Amino acid sequence: MSKDYFYNIINDKLSDISEQKIREIFNKLYKKTNEYKNILNNITEGIIISDLKGIIDFINDSAIHLLSLKYPPKNIQKIYHITEANIFQKENLNLDYTISKTISLKNKKINIIILPDQKNKKIIFFLIDKTLLYKTQMKLINNYFNLQDIIKFINKEISPSLNSISLFLELVEKNKYDAEDLEEIKEEVKNIDSLLTNFYNSFIGENITFEKINVLDLIEKMIQISKYEIEEKNIDVNFDINIDQEVIMANRNSLQKIISTIIQISINTIKSGGFLNINIYKTDNFINIEFKDNGANIDYESIYNISNPYYSTKSSNPDLDLSSASNLIYKHLGDIEIENKKDQYKIITVKLPLRTETQKSLPYIEDLKYEEK
């Protein structure tokens, strides 16, 4: 059969469709497209969809607001020039890359997640406003220190009073007052004293206080704990230290949990004969601990849900809960960044703010100025 035969059939079919019908079809498609745009514009998260050349197909109102743009840009490069955020550079427009990174922009903290759409050859940017999260953590830290002062005051003022009551009870006891009443009062005094002691220790005790920690020593300790699994898989572990001082102020238990979780994720995903490179370096007021391995990538869902405290990357094993580790990082006013390169490597970077022993809040948080509503 010739091509003309098929062309004639197609033309016959098209001729049966009136111009009015074609308009109706296009109107329906246009209406449907607008419905989806309205839905996307009402989502609180910013959404940007671009092609591999950086031409923007869609940007919702939330993204324009979060990035403080005056009007919708036509390409990603324009956003890069306005925000100076490296995550918007052209080299990140790659179907093999998955990235989660937090940027600072005009008193805002914005988590940007880049997810490639393999099917449609598009790059999707999700923008999540983390400013409130950091603001809340800052308030918690400041309130924590204020609460410390209150508890110290209570302990200082009430403890002597309890001692006085105890002495008074001893005097009363000598005058042969009802023994049962005296025992009851003594018991109450003990309860109050115990309550104050526990209350004091809960806030002032070592369990939640920051202390000087040598990050390199702690990582080496965690590696040593996993030595058997590392040797069994023949994993090559390397360190690259680019910092003069590896000592930071942090909560030891939390930091151990964070590091052990990430190391265990690497071990579990690396095939035999793989590598784990640990790089420690400083940027601005942060110490960065970078874990790079050639194991399986962190999946899209885990990257997107990493800030969700109820989400677990491996629910059957809470020790491998990357979301839980990220929450501990946030409590230090730090951050976690993830970069995947398909079938090649993944990088998990823990960013912890450098602070002094007496510093109540943290450097980059102090730069955020908020107006109370």
Residue 366 has pLDDT above 60, yes or no: no
| 341 occurs within a structural domain | yes
pLDDT digits (tens, 9 = 90+) for 160-192: 656 666 666 666 666 655 566 666 666 666 666
Residue 206 has pLDDT above 60, yes or no: no
* Domain match, 219 and 346 both: yes
What is the share, in percent, of the chain residues with pLDDT greater than 70? Answer: 59
Report the chain's mean pLDDT, rounded to a whole number: 75
CATH number, residue 294: 3.30.565.10
* Domain match, 116 and 141 both: no
| 311 occurs within a structural domain | yes
| 175 occurs within a structural domain | yes
Torsion of CA 195, 196, 197, 200, to 10 degrees: 120
* Domain match, 224 and 360 both: yes
* Domain match, 125 and 138 both: no
pLDDT digits (tens, 9 = 90+) for 230-262: 999 999 999 998 887 777 888 888 899 999 999
Confidence of residue 104 (pLDDT cuts 50, 70, 90): confident
* Domain match, 241 and 157 both: no
| 25 occurs within a structural domain | no
Which region among 131-135, 208-212, 310-314 has the lowest average model confidence (pLDDT)? Answer: 310-314
pLDDT digits (tens, 9 = 90+) for 319-352: 346 877 887 888 788 889 999 988 889 999 999 8
Domain that holds residue 181: 134-204
Domain boundary among 99, 129, 159: 129
Q: What is the pLDDT of residue 11?
A: 56
Domain boundary among 129, 152, 181: 129
Confidence of residue 139 (pLDDT cuts 50, 70, 90): low
What is the share, in percent, of the chain residues with pLDDT greater than 90? Answer: 19
352 forms bridges with which residues in the sheet?
287
- The pLDDT of 109-117, averaged and rounded, is 88
* Domain match, 357 and 215 both: yes
Q: What is the pLDDT of residue 259?
A: 93
Residue 150 has pLDDT above 50, yes or no: yes
* Token pair of 278 as six digits: 């640990």
Give the count of domains, the chain: 3
With tokens 């959404």, the residue in question is 47
- The pLDDT of 119-132, averaged and rounded, is 87
Q: Where are the beta strands (DSSP E) in 146-285?
A: 211-214, 236-242, 247-250, 275-283
Instruction: Decide: helix, strand or coil at residue 97.
Output: strand
| 28 occurs within a structural domain | no
| 146 occurs within a structural domain | yes
Q: What is this structure's pTM?
A: 0.66
* Domain match, 343 and 216 both: yes
With tokens 């300790």, the residue in question is 221
pLDDT digits (tens, 9 = 90+) for 258-278: 999 999 999 999 988 999 999
| 356: exposed, middle or buried (Cβ count in 10 Å: 0-12, 13-18, 19+) | exposed
* Domain match, 308 and 329 both: yes
